[in-house]
Structure 1
Amino acid sequence: MSTIRVRRGVLASSMALALFAPHAFAQTSNTSSSNTSSSDQQTSQQSTSSSGQQANQKQAVKLQTVTVTGSMIPRVEVEGPAPVVSLTGEQIKDQGFTTLWEFLDSLPQVGQQSSDPAAWGSSSVNARSVNLRNVGPGFSLLLIDGHRVVDYPQPLNKQSNFQNYNNLPTGMIDHVEILASGASSIYGSDAVAGVINVILKKNYQGDELQVTGGGATRGGRRYGDINFFGGKSGENWHVLYNVEKSNRTALWGMDRPYEDSVSDAGYGSWSPASRMFGYQYDAQGAIALSAQNASGQYITPPAGTCGKFTNSQLSHSYSTTASGTQVTGVTDNGYYCSQPALFQNWVLTPGSRNNSGYVAGEYDFKDTSLQLYGSVALYDTVGISNTQLPVEATGQFYDQTTGQVINQAIRQLTAQEMGTSANTHDREQNWNLQTGLRGSFDDSRFNWDVNLNSQKYTVREDYTGIDVNAMNNFFLGKQLGTTAGGLPIYAMNWQQWWNPITPQQYGQFAVSGENTSSSWLDQVQARINGDLYKLPWVDEPIGWAAVLEAAHNGFLLSPDARGDNNNFQNPFGAYLTGGGTRQRYSFGNEFRVPVLDSVTWTISGRLDKYHDASRADVARTWGTGLEWRPYDGLLLRGSYGTNFKAPDMQAIYLTGSTSPIGDYVDPLQCINAIKAGQNNSTWCSQVQRPTSQYYNLTTEGSRLLQPQTGHSWTYGFVWQIPGVQGLSFSADYWHMGVDNAIQYLDPGTVLVDEAGCLTGLQVNGSSALSTYTAHVPGSQYCKMVTQMVQRNAAGQIVSEESGPINEASLYVSGIDASLDYKLQTENWGNFTANINYTDNLEYKQRVLASDPLQNTRYNNVASRITWIGNWHKGDWDVSISGVRDGGLRSPNYGSCNTLPNGIQPSMITVQSGTETVATGVCQVTVNGANVTVPDTEYTGHTPVWITWNTSVAYQFNPAMNLKLTVSNIFDRVSTIPYYAGGFEFVTTGQTGSEYNGREIFLTFDYKID
């Protein structure tokens, strides 16, 4: 009663393998080819469903029915109206990928990530999202064996729901299928940009052991994996079991020397003082140990102080003033201890320890068409990450010990002082249980399936924090009163300040925190499909399928209660609370109508009813597709559908989560300072503020949110090229859009827009102003955003609000193309090859309907090509693969070139219709007047990024196989763009922004029986 999946050996280079709606319940055969162990599958290349109908069309006609991606109706044709990508688990490993997420992130259809896993303040450090078509991680739907997967408990970027692709072990995967087009009329919410379906192994007979070891040749990322799987069968039953244990060590900043120094920032980002005297570490927040007097001068540390601390050296600080193109003054700010290797204790790529188990079984009732099935899966993961170690940053106070005012003092702790690396451990458990009953009636004309599924995901996050009050007491002592001017008085312990402390002393103010979170999903699904009747003029009957679903899901965030206190410092910079539930009821229909023998029309519709605290109520979606086969070797196809996404539960139910912000830029104060001629104002750069200048950021959800609506269409062809056996080509145009999208106004955007709305200006570079054009001053948006920031009489920020609104629009389009070739020879073995290409033509977005719709395609990687070739002969299997990413605009693109002395002019812009256009003419300010300088617009790009991978396998005997896999053969790592600055210095958003380098793995595979 299981549906079969078409093998690549049957239809050369075919990409339309079954998407498996819950086991797809097509009444065909008791053995599903999708349930065959990957070791029994021929090694083949990556492909797409658009890889083509083969010349031998009669073979496809003889195939049993399969469930085609994006459809609930089994069919004989393996090509559908929209392109699909599919790879087996073995093919994923052949390309050097050790996790499902690594593989998905390399696909041409997947856009850049919206969150850097190593970024400071990440609230989901151990999870990885997938961003199909660059629409956003929340717009892609993850399925396992055709069933929805529970959301990750913690929010992405402290804002929204997403599904974790990082905890699924590759050893359990039979194959993965990706439909990168909207499919809400089949799958409901979230399937706006597409669907990713992971098919686990089924129906394996015997036992097999796989052991893999390896790591990066540059150091770090050591990897070990043990995978045991097998299956047993009886007369009317079958059981499969799989246990996998893996360990991947973290990649630390110290493992990559070019990331080991703050001075590795792009030279274009160096300030005038940096160019005159050397890179200024304090300008980048890399202070290890310092104290400033009332005038802002650094108090020189005692001789030899810096050398007592690891990762510390004595540095000299300078700042400059400028007028026009000239540096007019230099200020000596004194000496302090800096961190030349700022990121050495930061995790660039988190490590993980995984223990996973999976058991699945089927039982056929004798003399009936009934089959009982079920499965239990447990994914247990410990993620290891770390960012900045605890730091003491005082506000202004009077020091009774020295009799002077201390403006600010900063003390970065070290791992040696703490006696620990202060890692954060995310301990995760994800349960997935299901059972079902399926059968047929009316002489197997109709098939039905009823499935019950329950999932729960929990995360316990253990981290190192500090008690700020206790830390202040340790270094400053108890407060001794206040001065006449209102400053607190302390008697600072300079002996402890200028010398390393012991782990025992650190224990006086160290605390261990624990955040917990959970999410759950319970769902029931009933499906039916079958043939209705034949039209008089065609041979095939009308196909029909229907689905009825009910689901209950929810989440709960339970952070450490001390995190709501400014005296408790944690590494996430947030205190996220909230929780809620949602019920959903759905009904869908699909018809497949053979209009002519060569023309097939499909139409589907779905109704989703929601009960939650948002304004989501009823969502109606529909889709249609057309396939025309004018002759056996050519398929012309197209599809259209409406889509929707229910409001994220995190966006609805996040309560007033408040976090102290002390490291920020204040655009309004920066603009005012520049207008006053204070071009070196510290408000223009992101620095750590004194405690007295911290403000509270409140982030909360909204119960006024409505569903996000969208549409998508595709059209293209699949062509078996005449005269060349085994060669096929496909090309498809795709387009999708989202309206009424939920836009999170992040803190930086709120502050920039507040300043622009109030002044009509924006900051260009660090010392120039230009016209603010993002929104019209006085508009509804400006009224809203200026109310989100509260300031005191001195103009300093007291509080800021951030949250979601239903306003944004996003439209993307592009072209997918694929070329597949398969050649069988008598003496030279068998060859397969595949090339996939995606060109993202448009990426148009806006926040409000009144905003201009601008194409920002070049802010993302515009094109990607992947390829893989395989050779098999006798006991040998060899594959070679690669990825090519197109260039990306470098930091500072569209601004003026920095002058040789470090001064950066501003770009003159003009308004052209709804768009702001750079003129290419640059200017500086002299005595309040703008003066043109002979400079040009910077148009630098990051270089094209190409990596190659290979694997070589040898079958010693029927039971034993050995495989060597090398990823990134030529050991490429990221380069630092000329204007890159800030965290890690490399440009994010493309495969080239990685640090791993070459990785080598050796896999031993032994079939026990």
Structure 2
Amino acid sequence: MTTIRMRRGLLASSLALALAAPSLYAQTTQNDAQAPQQNDADKTDTSSKAKTLDKIVVTGSRIPRSEIEGPAPVTIITAEQIKAQGYTTVFEFLNSLPQVATPAFSDRISTWGNTAVNARPINLRNLGPDHSLLLVDGHRITDYPQPSAGQSTFQNYANIPTGMIDHVEVLASGASSIYGSDAVAGVVNVILKKQYQGDDLQLTGGGATRGGRNYGDLNFTGGRSGDNWHVIYNYEHTNRSPLWGRDRSYTDAESDAGYGTWNPSARMFGFPTSNGIALQNAAGNYIAPPAGACGQFGNNFSAYDHKTIGTIGNVVDPTSISDAGVSCTQRAVFANWVLTPGLRSDSFYVAGQYDFSSSLSAYGSVTFKDSTGTTNTQLPVLYPMGGLPNNFYDQTSGQVISNYTRQLTSQEMGGYGNTHDYEKNWDIHAGLKGTVFDDRFDWDFNVGTSKYIVHENYTGLNEQGMFDYFFGPQLGTTNVGGTDYPTYALNSNRFWNPISTSDYKSFAVGGTNSAYTWMDQATFNLNGNLFDTWAGPVGFAGVVEGNHQGFRLAPDRRGNTTTFGDPFQNLITGGGTRTRFSGATEFRVPLASTLTWTISGRIDSYNDASIANTAKTWGTSLEYRPLESLLLRGTYGTNFHAPDMQAIYLADSVSTVGDYADPLKCIQTGDRACQPTQHATYFTQYSGGSRNLLPETGHSWTYGFVWDIPWVDGLAVSADYWHMGIDNAIKWIDTNTLLTDEAGCLTGTTVTGAPYIAHPQGSEYCQLAIKNVVRNADGSINNITVGPINEASLYVSGVDASLTYKFGSERWGNFNLGIDYTNNLQFKERDLSSDPLLNTRYQYVASKVVGTASWHKNDWDVSLHGERSGEIRSNNYGGCEVLPNGIQPSVGDPQCVIYHGHVAPWIVWSTSVGYRINERLRASLNVSNIFDKVGSIPYYSGGFEFIPTQQGDSYTGREVFLTLDWKID
């Protein structure tokens, strides 16, 4: 990725060649520029139009200016550069930027219970997807219908028509005084093509060389124009196959966990994986399967003897071996889990403009996308969920049954029972624009409407039906040891042997969860020069906006019962609307020929079910140019984020959680790794929104410089310090956070044995955390309550730097080099004002650098792209290293050696080679991740997602794509 830096004097002639940028409001001040093509003939044609582009609007301001570099750093990249770096989607490209952090664990595609697996959010500055704003041609787009992690709204970056992208502008700092709510961490503005002459067909095919993620794309773009009109149209069909856990055998089983998580029993008798078919008696011992039963299910199950060995201090005691019996355990419990979803999509786009005169034009655009996503996690399994019989007498075995598991297989089901998300989205805009007061001011009035629909079809869970099929009806009661137990009779033939697909269908259920979002909006923009001063014209921009939006979550009407549930047994409901009216002004005042001051202010008035109603923000900036080649700049502004609509309107809901870590139990048993595992019994999670929420408020500032080195033509450097803060932030206390804090508040320690310092014991927060976790008498979790709080604080700061160098000759061609670097210096946070403000930077990637080198000569062009994400602390950091026998001492133990391991930096390289065969045909080869690198499993990592993906580590490996581009006419 190369951040584009330009000198003021070169802007007019180079802007159209590099960007062909239309304005932020789908307009330029005079004429729309044609998208550039990668050949010399096209460059000659577009350069004649570039001279009319004296001023443009760049994200971060509504006032047109002559310099692409302004007071706030903005990253700009063209669609051609995105493709040259090997990216097939906008999301993949944006996720590679140094300013963008990887998603939190709860937002990862394959995480148990993820409610938005087909969407792709962006996490600017690690402030979360709901704190950045996505614009398309300067307009807001509707939110993705399903909430992120079941709790917050965001925009879907996978829903942008990639074939129509002209360029992308990224402002990674607060800008609420310009754009309003959500623009806390920054703004991503995707500019679509506005003009095209002729027709073009582009075909792309490829996939991962390790298997999976087969990719095909057909992109047809065309356009026509006349003396006073132009129209552009696009159709794109994309098909990408899923990447399944079974496609990456090194991480599809629990036993793939790092050896540091193997306890003494696992090291001696083998790693205990999740049960596939199991019965346990009243003593907790397993009832042995019939001989050969486990091997009848293909490669799904194997017999495992549940032996454990005792320990005395830090020594294994070979005389203390207990045997709980044999069950059929799963060889690869994650084989059917999706690592990246499959996608089949069709998108349509048409836009046009008609000029009534030189001062009045009408324009409009229509975007429609129809897509299907394919995902899956665990196949249906019978277990003693709440409401099903447990602790009953089984006539077949003659024993009291205290626990049971019967995992269904794909062979029994006649398929994998994948989940399919059927999505439809449309966005329609129309407007008038022109000039007034002798062309002194430009105006633009735009209205738009959009809607997003998701219907998620899935294989459901009928636990009662499965129980009845395997155990039959109740046969009265049986007295054992003075206790009357409900009596059933296990059908051993069904339970221990594969069942037929027709038998499965007798209790199989399927369901549909639906979700909808919509938005209607109107915007009026006015900008121009108010008057001239001795130092230059005073620029002005004003905007008035009206917006009405809403959402509705409509899960299957059968709810979440013993006879029906979705794959995660979630039941998330809710819905509501919000109306907003906003007004903003911005002034750009030249204080001297080299010094410019900008000030902006905005007021947003909300009408929704929360107690929030009005937000006021302001911002200011300075630009100082002591030399033509040197810009010194700085900004300050206040920001806000309206209460998340999901946080307001989510109805009280109930879900079932079975894949989790229990830190309190880990501390009590000395399990220092404490990795999430699939439990035989689940707990109930209660969650819901709150109407008593206020807007999140914050501030941001930046300062830095941009310098075009005068004695080295084509060399430019920049550096900017940035800081952002959020007060009274809305934070969802999720499952992992709550259980971790409950354990720390009760014991004063963490799972590694280190002191717990996140919250003082006995504090208001600790009392709340302990209260919200209800445990059974045996210490297992019965239920928890999670939800939003409105008192958190978060402050982040860091440094961005970049270097670009462009040089060339007639003999050797043209070269472009670029390096972008981000160092996240601080990440301070607290949940309540009574908590300490802790710098948790170590939990995230501290630094990231991206570099690109490209070469172009005649019909050839080549690029090389590299990314490096810095190291992060490994699991068990600060805890004791595990001894060779599998025992982990406690901190303070003489045998304790404190572990300070890190996950090594993640470095990947990609390349592209393009060749123009003739005037109409061009071919290019893209290789992403040249050296076929995949994430490794750290020594102390266990549970699913062994690979730490915080740095961008992936399971994919190398991908190769071939593209043919045919200019039809």
Q: Which residue of structure 1 lines up, in the alignment, with residue 641 of structure 2?
A: 645
Whether the 8 Å CA contact 2:731–2:790 is kept in 1: the answer is: yes
Deviations 1:168-212 (A, max 9, x none): 232121111100010100000000000001111111111000000
Q: For 1:361-760, list aligned pairs within 5 A.
A: 361-366=352-357, 369-394=359-384, 395-484=390-479, 485-535=483-533, 537-538=534-535, 540-667=536-663, 674=668, 694-757=682-745, 759-760=746-747
SS at match of 2:268: helix
Task: State the alpha-carbon separation in 2 of the partners of residues 319 and 972 from structure 1.
Answer: 37
Q: Which residue of structure 2 lines up, in the alignment, with residue 66 of structure 1?
A: 56
Whether the 8 Å CA contact 2:24–2:137 is kept in 1: the answer is: yes
Q: Which residue of structure 1 lines up, in the alignment, with residue 173 of structure 2?
A: 181
SS at match of 1:365: strand
CA apart distance, 1:934:
2.7
SS at match of 1:519: strand
Whether the 8 Å CA contact 1:16–1:79 is kept in 2: the answer is: no
Task: State the alpha-carbon separation in 2 of the partners of residues 843 and 588 from structure 1.
Answer: 31
Whether the 8 Å CA contact 2:16–2:50 is kept in 1: the answer is: no
Q: Which residue of structure 1 lines up, in the alignment, with residue 252 of structure 2?
A: 260
Q: TM-score, normalised by structure 1?
A: 0.90
Amino acid at match of 1:21: L
1:835 is aligned to 2:835: no
CA apart distance, 1:945:
1.4
Match of 1:94 among 77, 81, 84: 84
Q: 1:688 to 1:210 in 2, by over 3 A?
A: closer
**What RMSD over aligned residues (CA atoms) do the two structures have, in Å?**
2.5
Task: State the alpha-carbon separation in 1 of the partners of residues 15 and 448 from structure 2.
Answer: 36
CA apart distance, 1:505:
0.6
Q: Which residue of structure 1 lines up, in the alignment, with residue 308 of structure 2?
A: 319
Q: 1:353 to 1:680 in 2, by over 3 A?
A: closer
1:289 is aligned to 2:277: yes
Task: State the alpha-carbon separation in 2 of the partners of residues 137 and 755 from structure 1.
Answer: 28
Task: State the alpha-carbon separation in 2 of the partners of residues 797 and 278 from structure 1.
Answer: 27
1:777 is aligned to 2:769: no
Q: For 1:976-995, list aligned pairs within 5 A.
A: 976-992=937-953, 994-995=954-955
Q: Percent same amino acid at aligned positions?
A: 55
1:937 is aligned to 2:898: yes
Match of 1:998 among 958, 961, 964: 958
Q: 1:148 to 1:259 in 2, by over 3 A?
A: same
Q: 1:889 to 1:690 in 2, by over 3 A?
A: closer
Whether the 8 Å CA contact 2:677–2:944 is kept in 1: the answer is: no
Amino acid at match of 2:251: E
Whether the 8 Å CA contact 2:209–2:960 is kept in 1: the answer is: yes
Whether the 8 Å CA contact 1:951–1:965 is kept in 2: the answer is: yes
Task: State the alpha-carbon separation in 1 of the partners of residues 41 and 731 from structure 2.
Answer: 46
Task: State the alpha-carbon separation in 1 of the partners of residues 718 and 679 from structure 2.
Answer: 56
Task: State the alpha-carbon separation in 2 of the partners of residues 980 and 460 from structure 1.
Answer: 35
Task: State the alpha-carbon separation in 2 of the partners of residues 155 and 1004 from structure 1.
Answer: 38
Whether the 8 Å CA contact 2:165–2:190 is kept in 1: the answer is: yes
SS at match of 2:76: strand
Amino acid at match of 1:961: R
Amino acid at match of 1:1004: L
Q: Which residue of structure 2 lines up, in the alignment, with residue 821 of structure 1?
A: 805
Amino acid at match of 1:363: Y
Deviations 1:945-992 (A, max 9, x none): 111111111111111101111111111111110001000311131112
CA apart distance, 1:570:
2.0
Task: State the alpha-carbon separation in 2 of the partners of residues 356 and 14 from structure 1.
Answer: 28
Amino acid at match of 1:308: Q
Deviations 1:510-554 (A, max 9, x none): 10110000000100000101111122x31x210001000000000
Match of 1:104 among 81, 94, 99: 94
Match of 2:888 among 890, 904, 911: 904
Q: 1:970 to 1:170 in 2, by over 3 A?
A: same
Whether the 8 Å CA contact 1:139–1:645 is kept in 2: the answer is: yes
Q: 1:385 to 1:5 in 2, by over 3 A?
A: farther
CA apart distance, 1:298:
1.8
Match of 2:748 among 740, 761, 780: 761
SS at match of 1:933: coil
1:356 is aligned to 2:347: yes
Q: Which residue of structure 2 lines up, in the alignment, with residue 47 of structure 1?
A: none
Task: State the alpha-carbon separation in 1 of the partners of residues 720 and 129 from structure 2.
Answer: 23
Deviations 1:485-531 (A, max 9, x none): 35332101111111001110100111011000000010000010111
Q: Which residue of structure 2 lines up, in the alignment, with residue 915 of structure 1?
A: none
Amino acid at match of 2:296: K
1:887 is aligned to 2:871: yes
Amino acid at match of 2:447: L
Q: 1:62 to 1:515 in 2, by over 3 A?
A: closer
Task: State the alpha-carbon separation in 1 of the partners of residues 679 and 42 from structure 2.
Answer: 57
Q: 1:688 to 1:209 in 2, by over 3 A?
A: closer
Q: 1:212 to 1:16 in 2, by over 3 A?
A: closer
Q: Which residue of structure 2 lines up, in the alignment, with residue 302 of structure 1?
A: 290
Q: 1:335 to 1:480 in 2, by over 3 A?
A: same
Amino acid at match of 1:387: T
Q: Which residue of structure 1 lines up, in the alignment, with residue 70 of structure 2?
A: 80
Q: Which residue of structure 1 lines up, in the alignment, with residue 927 of structure 2?
A: 966
Deviations 1:78-121 (A, max 9, x none): 11001111111121111111111111111101012021101121
Task: State the alpha-carbon separation in 2 of the partners of residues 62 and 371 from structure 1.
Answer: 18
CA apart distance, 1:16:
9.5
Amino acid at match of 2:863: S
Q: TM-score, normalised by structure 2?
A: 0.94
Task: State the alpha-carbon separation in 2 of the partners of residues 260 and 791 from structure 1.
Answer: 32
Match of 2:23 among 14, 20, 24: 20
Task: State the alpha-carbon separation in 1 of the partners of residues 498 and 128 from structure 2.
Answer: 46
Amino acid at match of 2:313: G
Amino acid at match of 1:425: H
Q: 1:820 to 1:670 in 2, by over 3 A?
A: closer
Task: State the alpha-carbon separation in 1 of the partners of residues 932 and 756 from structure 2.
Answer: 44
1:242 is aligned to 2:238: no
SS at match of 2:509: strand
- Deviation larger for 738-747 or 328-337: 328-337
CA apart distance, 1:12:
9.1
Match of 1:217 among 181, 199, 209: 209
Match of 1:875 among 834, 839, 859: 859
What number of residue pairs does the alignment pair up?
945
Task: State the alpha-carbon separation in 2 of the partners of residues 224 and 522 from structure 1.
Answer: 34
Amino acid at match of 2:127: V
CA apart distance, 1:666:
4.8
Q: Unaligned stretches of 5+ in structure 2?
A: 1-5, 44-48, 385-389
Whether the 8 Å CA contact 1:123–1:154 is kept in 2: the answer is: yes
Task: State the alpha-carbon separation in 2 of the partners of residues 791 and 866 from structure 1.
Answer: 48
Deviations 1:792-841 (A, max 9, x none): 66665443211001011111111111111111202111111111111111
Whether the 8 Å CA contact 1:14–1:78 is kept in 2: the answer is: no
Amino acid at match of 1:544: F
Deviations 1:621-664 (A, max 9, x none): 11111111101111111111110000100000000111133454
